[in-house]
Amino acid sequence: MAGAEEKEPENIVHRNAIFCETIHKEQRDQKLYTSYGVNPYKKMHVVAGKPNSPHDSADAAEDGEARYEFLQTYRKAQGTPRSRYSYPQTEAQEIGWDTKPLMGVLRALLLLLVAAAASAALVKRQDSEEAIVYKLFHVDSLVVSRYAVTSITSVVQNSDPEQSKELEFRMQLPETAFISNFSMSVNGRTYYGVAKEKAEAEQEFEERISAGENAGLVQSRGSEVFSIRINTAADSEATFVLKYEELIVRRRSKYSYRVNLNPGSVVDDFQARVRVVDPQGVVETAASDFVLSQRLSDTEVVFSYQPSADQQREDSAKYGLGRDLDIEFDVTPTSVSVGEFVVDSNCYFAQFFSKTGAEAVPVDLVFVIDVSGSMSGTKITQTRDALETIINQLRDTDRFTMLTFSTNVRYWHEDLVSASEYRLEGVMFAQSLQASGSTNFNAGLLDGIAVLKRRDESASQGRIPLLVMLTDGAPTVGVTNEDKIVANAGEALTGTSISLNCLGFGQNLNFQLLERLALQNDGIVRTIYEGDDAAEQLEGFFDEISTPVLQNIKISYDENSVKTSSATEFPLLFEGGEIVVAGQCNKDTQNIDVEVVGTGTDGQVSFTAEISTNPTSIVGDYSPSTERLQAHLLIQQLLNSRLASTNQSEINANLQKALDLSLKYNFVTELTSLIVVEEIPEIGSGPGNEPRAGNETLIGGGNDFGDKEDSVSSPVTMDSGAEASVGALPVILSVSLLVLIVSAIVAVALAAVFIKRRRATHQRLNDSVTPQQCIEKDTVI
């Protein structure tokens, strides 16, 4: 921190205001000089007008009647023949004398024709949209031991009795979900999806299309939107069934589940049902205000939403068609010190470890805030409000500081200060933030790391260093190369225990860069979506990371008992959070010796227990999907290791493991695609992948389908729809021919009118008017 005797830092806000005012004045004077030929620094003198200039005697005979008449006659003599004479004076003037009125008539007729065609196209489009009927939309979700399997069924009908139509199925997916199955029935044929390696799936897709077969391709493109378009025959319907799976993560002492309800239109049969089952017991449930909940037992709760068509119309007028069904719950805490264990009949287990009521470890916190020009408006306002709330929530034992970056870096305090002493000053600084300039991402990041690295070692003993970086865009000045920025951060953080957490604000950001930085440096990355609740999202993220209760956690099992497991080492555990480890024990194992070691406020702590491998009691007919949970968790960790590692051989080995698991359990990931074919596929050995009867045995009627067109955000591609293209060609030709015929008729009619009027004019000239009379009448000079 600079001493009192040093010069006060320049106020960049005032400097920027003065600079803007100077530029404004310069631009104003330059405009006067260049546009009007006026020197603003010299006096202006009125110059008399020229004798025959338009502004002299234009409106009245101020200088005499004779002068006024002379000017009017002179100007008239300079005009066109139509302004000088009432009738043509020569044969040359006859030609084209009435061209302007005739062109006006032609233009009006053409505009009328275009308007009629546009009206017909609009009516046709409305009829086409009305012909697409959304009949059914069902959402069925089962959450067993925090692992959710969601199935969406949609039935869409083409009610047009004569023409084929393009139907679309679109679904918003959770960020961490994997698609595990997709099937559809259209035009009398049923198609199923099976996961294959991405290159292999694309090759098979192209081969099937070249051979004239119907096929589809479901891919993961980093988007959360699943979309597919198909072509259906007249008076037929299509049925879609999509299934995806996800692990529900515990944050801030609760599990949150969300599913998007957007059938595309009002449907007659709308139903959403979420069943939450947990052998420990389901407690503290909450849901969206339009959702009904029913507790069947201590271990099972059902949430449902079944609106009528009228209620859907009323809700869509207020909220739009796409609503999110949100559910929150918690489970009864276990008395076992190493956490809850769930074991299935095949010896797959899942461990859920959390610490409730533990004393939070003090933190040293550095906020690195992007205040570049793109943060102006609502973003900077919400950032200011969120920082004020966050600073007021800091514990007295915490230390913090803030620095902002745009084109340059600006410090609030160059070193960490006590939250109890500088809380009010920090709030005032946060409220003074203004957005301007470019984005010097690298400089802001490295300066924030430097603040934590120069902490006093004795005063920092037992404290957890956290760096929180908030940005809404990509680097624009300074170091802009992504690999270089990641390398600089890794080099600066080598040998430290600093946790780098990144918050991406809005949609136009380089999320991959933030993800690489966070995962390589034991941090968390989140996206803050723009909207009215953006400040709440910022505060919620800080609530999640502000109270660490353990650091450097390591979970170990008896080597002779456990065959495989997911990651067992974690940098931090926060209050209200949870660590999940899944694995498989040997079949002849009766018990597993488990040890959890970490560092808390009182130093190193250890928890040990002996866990039985007997299968967990089943709630009703719902057994835990711990095998698929383990696969889901392992795939995510193996894919993330690519971002957190620089060893290429290790990365390749991890990606191969992730690919093998994705193929085995039919997951659509970055490495796999779902090839959709007509024959029933042979899916991997994972439970729940077999084609099932019921609503997945789909029925339809009509012709073949297909459409290769795919939106930018869509992760789905279907085969080429020749029927749609060929069907549209006759319509285009018919309309074109009709336009040509009408144009020809109009042209002939206009030509006849022109000839008739020309003859009448010529006859009138011969009978009644002579050129000499016209000249004398108009007093031509």
Does the pLDDT of residue 331 top 90, yes or no?
yes
pLDDT, tens digit (0-9, with 9 covering 90-100), for 634-647:
999 998 887 767 77
| pLDDT, position 656 | 93
CB atoms within 10 A of CB 677: 17
Question: At residue 30, what are phi and psi to the nearest 5 degrees?
Answer: -65, -35
- Joined together, the tokens standing for residue 236 give 């037929």
Helix (H, G, I), strand (E, B) or coil at 586: coil
Alpha-carbon distances, residue 582 vs 129, 400, 441, 757 (angstroms): 48, 36, 37, 94
Which run of H or of E encompasses 411?
strand 409-411
Both structure tokens of 411 = 């410090």
**Tokens coding 473:** 């865009």
Burial state string for 224-248 with b = 16 or more CB within 10 A and e = fewer than 16 = ebbbbbbbbbebbbbbbbbbbbbbb
- What does the angle CA 553 – CA 467 – CA 457 come to, to the nearest 5 degrees? 75
| The two three-digit tokens of residue 72, written as one number | 């009017």
Q: What is residue 20's predicted lDDT score, i.e. its pLDDT?
A: 80
State the architecture of 363-546 in CATH terms: 3-Layer(aba) Sandwich (3.40)
Q: Crossing angle for the helix pair 534-545 and 378-393, nearest 10 degrees?
A: 30
Q: Which neighbouring-strand residues pair with 447?
A: none
Strand partners, 195: 674
Tell me, rounded to whole angstroms, the distance of Cα 417 from its chain centroid. 38
**Class of the CATH domain delimited by 132-334+659-720:** mainly beta
- CA 676/CA 156 separation, integer angstroms: 19
Confidence of residue 701 (pLDDT cuts 50, 70, 90): very low
Digit-coded pLDDT (tens) for 500-544:
988 888 767 788 888 888 888 888 888 877 766 777 777 778 878
What is d(CA 421, CA 640) in angstroms, rounded to the nearest whole number?
40
Range of weakest confidence among 322-336, 745-759, 760-774: 760-774
Reported as a pLDDT band with limits 50, 70 and 90, residue 471 is confident
* Tokens matching residue 658: 């992730």
Residue 668 DSSP one-character state: B
pLDDT of residue 721: 31
Query: Residues with Cβ < 8 Å from 695, sequence gap 6 or more?
Result: 138, 153, 241
Q: What is the mean pLDDT of residues 615-630?
A: 85
Sign, CA dihedral 677-680-683-686, equals positive
Q: Give 646's strand partners.
A: none
Q: What's the confidence (pLDDT) of residue 424?
A: 92
Q: What's the rounded Cα separation, in Å, for the pair 607 and 194?
A: 43
Min mean pLDDT across 386-400, 446-460, 576-590, 702-716 is at 702-716
Ranges 12-21, 136-145, 234-243, 437-446: which has the least confidence:
12-21
Distance of CA 431 to the CA centre of its chain: 29
Which distant-in-sequence residues (6+ apart) come within 8 Å of 697 by Cβ? 190, 691
Spacing of C-alpha 149 from chain mean position? 23
Q: Is the pLDDT of residue 631 over 90?
A: yes
pLDDT at 452: 92
Nearest to 375 by CA among 410, 402, 405, 401: 405
The fraction of the chain above a pLDDT of 90, given in percent, is: 28
Q: Hey, what are 426's tokens? A: 């920090």
Neighbours of 168 (CB within 10 A): 17
Tell whether pTM > 0.75: no
Going along 73-204, which residue ranges are E strands? Answer: 132-144, 147-158, 165-172, 178-186, 189-197
Mean pLDDT, rounded, for 146-170: 85
Task: Extract the tokens encoding 359.
Answer: 């004393």
Domain ranges of the chain: 11-43, 61-91+747-781, 132-334+659-720, 340-356+550-658, 363-546
CA pair distance 667, 760, nearest whole angstrom: 84
d(CA 257, CA 253): 14
Angle at 207 between CA 202 and CA 209, to 5 degrees: 95
- Residue 52 binned pLDDT confidence (cut-offs 50, 70, 90): low
Secondary structure (H, E, C), 607-623: EEEEEECCCCCCECCEC
Residue type, 253: S
Q: Which residue has the tokens 């068509």?
A: 309
* pLDDT tens profile 241-296: 999 999 999 988 899 999 988 887 888 899 999 999 999 999 989 998 889 999 99
d(C-alpha 257, C-alpha 755), whole Å: 79
Query: Where residue 681 falls among pLDDT bands split at 50, 70, 90?
Result: low
Q: What is the mean pLDDT of residues 668-697?
A: 59
Give residue 678's pLDDT band: very low, low, confident or very high (50, 70, 90): confident
> Which of the four CATH numbers 3.30.70, 3.40.50, 1.10.3470, 2.60.40 does domain 340-356+550-658 have?
2.60.40
Same CATH fold, 363-546 and 132-334+659-720? Answer: no
Judge contact between 380 and 413, C-beta under 8 A: no
d(CA 444, CA 451): 11
CA-wise closest residue to 230 among 222, 238, 221, 219: 238
Poorest-pLDDT segment among 56-70, 508-522, 543-557, 749-763: 56-70
Residue 163 has pLDDT above 50, yes or no: yes
Q: DSSP string spanning 239-299?
A: EEEEEEEEEPPEETTEEEEEEEE--SS--SEEEEEEEEE-TT-EEEEEE-TT-EEEEEETT
Does residue 259 contact residue 274 with C-beta atoms inside 8 Å?
Answer: yes
End-to-end CA distance of the chain: 90
